[in-house]
Amino acid sequence: MKNQDRFKAMREFASRIFLVLTCLTALSGSLRSEEPLTLKKSSANKRVLILYTHRQMSPINTQWHTGIIEAIRKDYHGPIDIDVEYMDVVLQSDPEYFDGWAALLKRKYSKYPPDVIIPVFFPAMTFLATNRHELFPGCPIVFCAVPESLGVSLSNRPNLTGVGFVMDFNPTLQVIEQVLPKTSKLMVLSGNSKLDTWMRDVVLRALSSAEKKMELVDLAGLSPSEAAVEFTKAGPNTAALLLTCELDQQNNRYTTTEYLQELEKLSTIPIFGCYDTVLGEGIVGGALFSPVEQGQVAGKLAARILNGESADEIPEVLDRHHLVAFDAQRLAKFGISESSLPRGSKLINHKPSVWSLYGRYIGLGLAALFAQSAIIVSLLINRKKRIAAENEARSLAGRILSAGEDERRYLARELHDEVSQRLAAVSIETGTLENKMADSSDVRESLGKLKKSLISICDNLHRMSRHMHPSVLDDFGLSDALKSECQELTQRWSIPIEYHHTKDFPEIPKSIALCVYRVAQESLWNAIRHSGATKITAELKSDPEFVYWDIHDDGKGFDPSVTNPNRGLGFASMTERIRLVGGTIKIKTAPLQGVAIAVVVPIPESKDPLSNY
């Protein structure tokens, strides 16, 4: 009670100070006796006065003002001065306060009166209608957000038009019924000021006459914490409707937005609203009046007057529009499905889906992935074809080598069994003839030369047949065959070959033995014919899994980075043979440092690796 008395005393003191200042201002103006009191206007700029009912910091004023200014700036392009006054009649609505405002406006705008006045909300319009002839005689008025009933009563007044609105709350009830069909109790939140009381009375009358009857609970004048306590007592199937809350019963002052922000933190039931000013501040949603739209309509009417039209020729506009809108975060808080909302509802604070946020990038990514997948599939197909072609080429190479070995074996057998034998027979017959020609020395000498030539040819054919297919390989095995090859090459070319081999060399598949033999034979011949070596070292080893062939010479070597077509075929032949049996071959060389070749061939457990060829 002490705080309340102190507040009333401060309010009375402020009223007196305001009146004193107003009187002093008027007196000082009258002392300037040289200035006539006739109304004058600035020479160029049009002047608009906007008179707001609420205080300056009220969010609903901001929305009205935004709509008015946007419309005037859009439709009127001349120079303009806009004056704004905030009457703030929530706490001070006594006659003395209004008289003070009348004196202030008269003094302030007597010299440069406005070209059009826009009173916003009905208290400002009522004040202006009462004091119009004294303050602004003949000045056009465009009212904004005035109830339909007041607009009708003022419609016969001259030089006046504006925007009224229909106090229809049935759309709000319909929204509540559709979103929460089980709602049986509606708590009506309002403040304790005269404006709050007027609004509450209008709404309660409308709700009482609605088709669907709900239990109405009037929570007028409660603070946010007190209202939250009532919410907890409400029980299930209860909703709340927020009107205007400018003042509670303890004379604590709020804006409706501030009141809602405090209450929403404590609320246990969904709260619906009447103005889109509070959308996003704590209400679930509703069928909402839009102060911005009301301001835009009023601003357009004012711009028409500024452009030269008469207010009497401009009909009044009745705003019946409701914005059906909801807050997605509050819907989620109270478990209300978005599918239950009326069709065409506006939804704010909606958490965008991943697709709406990144759909473009996802689409591009999927397209890139699809293209990449197509490329990969194409590459895999090409790879498969290439591998098949390589396998076919390898198979062909294997078949060629196998066919070559078969042909060598056949030719070696033919040379040894047929040609060599026949030449040997001819050689023997020649020797017989030589013995019979003892009396003719010339013939005998010729036959001797012929016999020697035939014997030499037989030896060469025998060597060729052994080179084409060494029978010793079949008869005595790989180790002895290579030993014989080394001995023959040493004897023939007079280059010492130091040969080492594993004792008791195991028996290995014929294909492996033939492969190693051919590679060893090629490497020995290359060392003798191309290296210029004076000594060659060769070694044949084995273990249960691999056969090893190593050869090293002390010849001139070569630069492996330089391609030499003369040595390409032999190395290619060795490489291909080793590849066919799954082995490896490595060559280590440098100029003047000889050549070292290391061959490793795996010993298959059962299947002959060349059986496929």
Per the domain annotation, does 385 fall within a domain? no
Per the domain annotation, does 186 fall within a domain? yes
Residues 239 and 175 in one domain: yes
Residues 73 and 183 in one domain: no
Residues 482 and 335 in one domain: no
Residues 305 and 334 in one domain: no
Phi, psi of 566 (to 5 degrees): -70, -25
Between 76-90, 116-130, 359-373, 396-410, the lowest mean confidence (pLDDT) is in: 396-410
Between 221-230, 371-380, 599-608, the lowest mean confidence (pLDDT) is in: 599-608
Mean pLDDT of 562-572: 66
Instruction: Give the confidence band of 14 by pLDDT, cuts at 50, 70, 90.
Output: very low
Residues near 528 by Cβ (< 8 Å), separated by ≥ 6? 489, 493, 495, 536
Task: Provide the mean pLDDT of the chain.
Answer: 84
Inter-CA distances, 344 with 276, 349, 350, Å: 16, 16, 15
Domain C-terminal end among 321, 340, 365: 321
Residues 194 and 263 in one domain: yes
Instruction: Give the confidence band of 325 by pLDDT, cuts at 50, 70, 90.
Output: very high
Between 28-37, 255-264, 507-516, the lowest mean confidence (pLDDT) is in: 28-37
Whole-number Å distance between alpha carbons of 146 and 166? 9
Residues 481 and 530 in one domain: yes
Domain count of the chain? 3
Q: What is the pTM of this model?
A: 0.57
**Which of 354 and 65 is assigned the larger pLDDT?**
65
pLDDT > 90 fraction of the chain, expressed in percent and rounded: 48
Whole-number Å distance between alpha carbons of 366 and 361? 8
Q: What confidence tens digit (pLDDT) does each residue in 229-260 have?
A: 999 998 889 999 999 999 999 999 999 999 99
Per the domain annotation, does 22 fall within a domain? no
Instruction: Give the confidence band of 40 by pLDDT, cuts at 50, 70, 90.
Output: very low
**pLDDT value at 404 more than 90:** no
**pLDDT value at 462 more than 70:** no
Per the domain annotation, does 439 fall within a domain? no
Mean pLDDT of 216-231: 94
Instruction: Give the confidence band of 510 by pLDDT, cuts at 50, 70, 90.
Output: confident
Between 166-175, 188-197, 376-385, the lowest mean confidence (pLDDT) is in: 166-175
Per the domain annotation, does 230 fall within a domain? yes
Domain C-terminal end among 308, 333, 348: 348
**Which of 416 and 458 is assigned the larger pLDDT?**
458
Structure tokens at 59: 């969010």
Mean pLDDT of 574-578: 85
Residues 235 and 294 in one domain: no
Mean pLDDT of 597-611: 77
**Which of 435 and 175 is assigned the larger pLDDT?**
175
Instruction: Give the confidence band of 293 by pLDDT, cuts at 50, 70, 90.
Output: very high
Whole-number Å distance between alpha carbons of 255 and 282? 14
Give the torsion through C-alpha atoms of 602, 607, 609, 613, to 10 deg: 180
Instruction: Give the confidence band of 610 by pLDDT, cuts at 50, 70, 90.
Output: low
**Helix axis angle, 478-493 to 510-530, nearest 10°:** 20
Per the domain annotation, does 77 fall within a domain? yes
Per the domain annotation, does 435 fall within a domain? no
**pLDDT value at 352 more than 90:** no
Q: What confidence tens digit (pLDDT) does each residue in 475-489 have?
A: 788 888 888 889 888
Residues 143 and 179 in one domain: no
Mean pLDDT of 11-25: 46
Tell me what pLDDT residue 475 has. 79
Tell me what pLDDT residue 33 has. 32
What is the CATH number for 503?
Answer: 3.30.565.10
**pLDDT value at 310 more than 80:** yes
Residues 601 and 539 in one domain: yes
Tell me what pLDDT residue 297 has. 96
Residues near 210 by Cβ (< 8 Å), separated by ≥ 6? 169, 170, 173
Domain C-terminal end among 306, 330, 348: 348
Whole-number Å distance between alpha carbons of 143 and 82? 16
Q: What confidence tens digit (pLDDT) does each residue in 264-287 have?
A: 999 999 999 999 999 999 999 999
- Domain of residue 560 covers 476-613
Inter-CA distances, 169 with 189, 199, 200, Å: 15, 11, 12
**Which of 36 and 143 is assigned the larger pLDDT?**
143
Residues 215 and 118 in one domain: no
Whole-number Å distance between alpha carbons of 532 and 574? 21
Residues 186 and 58 in one domain: no
Tell me what pLDDT residue 321 has. 87
- What letter does residue 531 receive in the DSSP assignment? S
Tell me what pLDDT residue 42 has. 45
Residues 317 and 329 in one domain: no
Instruction: Give the confidence band of 10 by pLDDT, cuts at 50, 70, 90.
Output: very low
What is the CATH number for 117?
Answer: 3.40.50.2300
Structure tokens at 242: 């927020």
Per the domain annotation, does 450 fall within a domain? no
Beta bridge partners of residue 497, listed in sequence order: 536
